[in-house]
Amino acid sequence: MRRREMLKLSVAILAAGLSYDSASVRADDALVLHKDPACGCCTGHADYLRAHGFAVTVVETPDLDSLRRQHGVPEALAGCHTILADGYVIEGHVPVEPIRRLLSERPDIVGIALAGMPMGSPGMGGEKTAPFVIYRIEREAGADAPKVFAIE
């Protein structure tokens, strides 16, 4: 009888482990942040992401435009720096919640972008003066107007 109980317990533990959704726990994802060597606000965004549980490696990349082209980021959505994360591109000073949502939901897109360098965004100084609009970076080149992924 004891052996049967141990077998049931082992099967239950194995089943629980197989059904665990590792995509829902994304705070320890490795992010690689590519930035211009002269930029300081990018380091601020990296610090912000680390404070929210992400492992961030900063790579000084003098030619960000080539990296963006290589990864399908339209010029209109270019931000201050480019993050590569688990098969996605995260462009600019995107807040942590849209990043977590992207990595959790895993949509069929290139990534997300907060274009430009909006004041008050994570890593940037100043006060937030308007909601941050985070756009989808679609896989189809030349897609219509960018679609909104999140508003923060």
Give 134-147 pLDDT, tens digit per residue. 999 999 876 678 99
Domain ranges for the chain, please list them. Answer: 23-151
- Give the CA-trace dihedral at 140, 142, 145, 146, to 10 degrees: 50
Given this structure, which CATH class describes domain 23-151?
A: alpha beta
Asked whether 121 and 95 are in contact (CB, 8 A), the reply is: yes
Entry pTM: 0.80
81-102 pLDDT, tens digit per residue, is: 999 999 999 999 999 999 999 9
The 10 Å CB-count burial string (b at 16+, else e) for 50-75 is eeeebebebeebeebeebbeebebbe
Token pair belonging to 78: 């270019």
